[in-house]
């Protein structure tokens, strides 16, 4: 890249971060709800303890988020609702959660379809 293009790319990246539009950051679903939406990969699941860990990207780094999955929370798949035991490491999920003083409590988890084989070229 040429020098002006590098500077422009840097400015746009910083502007996006300050505006809160960088897709690597979790964004509140709505200011009044207090919930956060996150797209991540499942790292581990403990269905008995109703706890899961997910990995998400934050800028050029990865972040592990530990979430409690209380009974009123819902898990959706392409086939409809499912029990938490259906989640497995490597699943791509979109989830909503609420931060409390004790934990991050998931309110909704949606299992996303697996990306097509081959990836971008």
Domain boundaries defined on the chain: 25-111
Residues 65-70 have a mean pLDDT of 92
pLDDT at residue 54, as a whole number = 96
Q: Which residue has the higher pLDDT, 85 or 16?
A: 85
Residues 60, 29: Cα–Cα separation, whole Å? 23
pLDDT at 14 exceeding the cut of 50: no
| pTM of the complete model | 0.65
pLDDT at 9 exceeding the cut of 80: no
Of 9, 2, 39, 7, residue with least CA distance to 24? 39
The structure tokens listed for 37 are 């939406």
pLDDT at residue 10, as a whole number = 52
pLDDT at 42 exceeding the cut of 80: yes
The structure tokens listed for 4 are 């002006």
Architecture of domain 25-111: Beta Barrel (2.40)
Give the pairing of strands 61-68 and 74-77. unpaired
pLDDT at 87 exceeding the cut of 50: yes
pLDDT at residue 18, as a whole number = 44
Of 34, 38, 31, residue with least CA distance to 52? 38
């Amino acid at each position: 890249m040429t020098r002006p293009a590098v500077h422009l790319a840097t400015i746009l990246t910083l502007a996006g971060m300050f505006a809160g539009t960088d897709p690597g950051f979790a964004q509140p679903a709505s200011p009044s709800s207090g919930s956060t939406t996150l797209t991540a990969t499942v790292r581990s699941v403990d269905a008995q303890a109703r706890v899961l860990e997910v990995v998400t990207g934050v800028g050029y780094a990865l972040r592990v988020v530990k979430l409690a999955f209380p009974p009123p929370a819902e898990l959706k798949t392409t086939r409809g609702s499912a029990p938490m035991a259906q989640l497995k490491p490597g699943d791509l999920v979109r989830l909503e959660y609420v931060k409390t003083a004790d934990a991050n409590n998931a309110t909704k988890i949606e299992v996303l379809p697996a990306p097509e084989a081959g990836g971008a070229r």
